[in-house]
Amino acid sequence: MESLLIQGAACRCQQFLALCKLRVVSLIVFTAVIGMFLAVPGLPSWNALWAGTLGIALVAGAAAAFNCLVEQKIDAVMARTRARPLPRGELTNTQTLIFSGVVGGTGLFLLNYYVNPLTMWLTLATFVGYAVIYTIILKPATPQNIVIGGASGAMPPVLGWVAATGEIHHDALLLFLIIFAWTPPHFWALALYRREEYAKAGLPMLPVTHGEAYTRLHVLLYTVLLFAVTMLPVGTGMGGWIYLIGAVLLGGRFIHYGWRLYRKYSDELAKETFRFSIWHLSLLFAVMLVDHYFPIPI
């Protein structure tokens, strides 16, 4: 009996964790932590590291859970999301709402009490931007949903920066701009090979409303725009030779993927592009961190 109770509790924990979209949250937390380290010449304070990281992670998980609550009917008709707990009936709406509120509230408390109020308010605004403005208002209304709503997804390094310093700096806004420009080609690559599922769900994603060719062109154009944006830290002195070389190599590779998608599309290539986009952002921020502590000025 005790063994069955333990197994049941473990299963229920897995169901709640599945709401949090841990792979997405891990990238959010990673860029937020990089923002903390880039914000200071040495190391961030202990409170910024543990409470800032945990608080941002909890609020991001709460936003993901709220997203699952709002989109459960859509998730039920899409192959990549139909196994989530709500479409399968493993969790109720009330359980999900309470979970999101408790987890998000705990994260906001940690940020306000152990870090600083500005980080808390910016994180709350990010929650509202993603869970409400993007999920409820923009996503079902316009094919530009990911462009406009991408602002909330670009906030984590700013949150990390503010957690470490208590203020918003122009270099933090450059980090925001990089992710803001990265989001459309990243997401549209996914939307291209999932276009039939989005059409079935009734969501006006760009490949559904404007067609595959139009979307492929915009993926290419945004990879070029992203390349240009990633050069800005070099111009401001935030990045040196290590960052410049990394940004050029990663950005050039992303443009190459965009060009190949534009010239000769396949679902497999779109999947490769989507996977590379995640590596692109992760490695770009990692290279920026290395450059921060081992600078070779240009």
Interval 246-274: pLDDT, tens: 999 999 999 999 999 999 999 999 999 99
> DSSP string of 271-296?
HHHHHHHHHHHHHHHHHHHHHHHS--
Q: What is the DSSP letter of 78?
A: S
List, for residues 97-106, the tens digit of each pLDDT value. Answer: 999 999 999 9
Q: Residue ranges of the domains in the chain?
A: 16-168, 170-298
Give the right CATH number for 16-168 from 3.30.930.10, 1.10.357.140, 3.40.250.10, 3.90.209.20. Answer: 1.10.357.140
Give the residue among 151, 217, 231, 210 at the shortest CA–CA distance from 183: 151
**CA 258 remoteness from chain centre:** 20
| pLDDT of the residue at 8 | 57
Q: For the chain, what is the mean pLDDT?
A: 93
pLDDT confidence band for 177 (50 / 70 / 90): very high
210 three-state secondary structure:
coil
In the predicted structure, residue 7 carries a pLDDT above the cut 70: no
List, for residues 197-221, the tens digit of each pLDDT value. Answer: 998 888 899 999 999 999 999 999 9
Q: Where are the alpha helices (DSSP H) in the chain?
A: 2-19, 22-39, 46-47, 53-70, 72-77, 93-110, 117-128, 145-153, 156-165, 170-193, 195-201, 206-209, 212-230, 232-236, 241-263, 267-293
| pLDDT of the residue at 76 | 85
Give the residue among 181, 161, 298, 170 at the shortest CA–CA distance from 243: 298
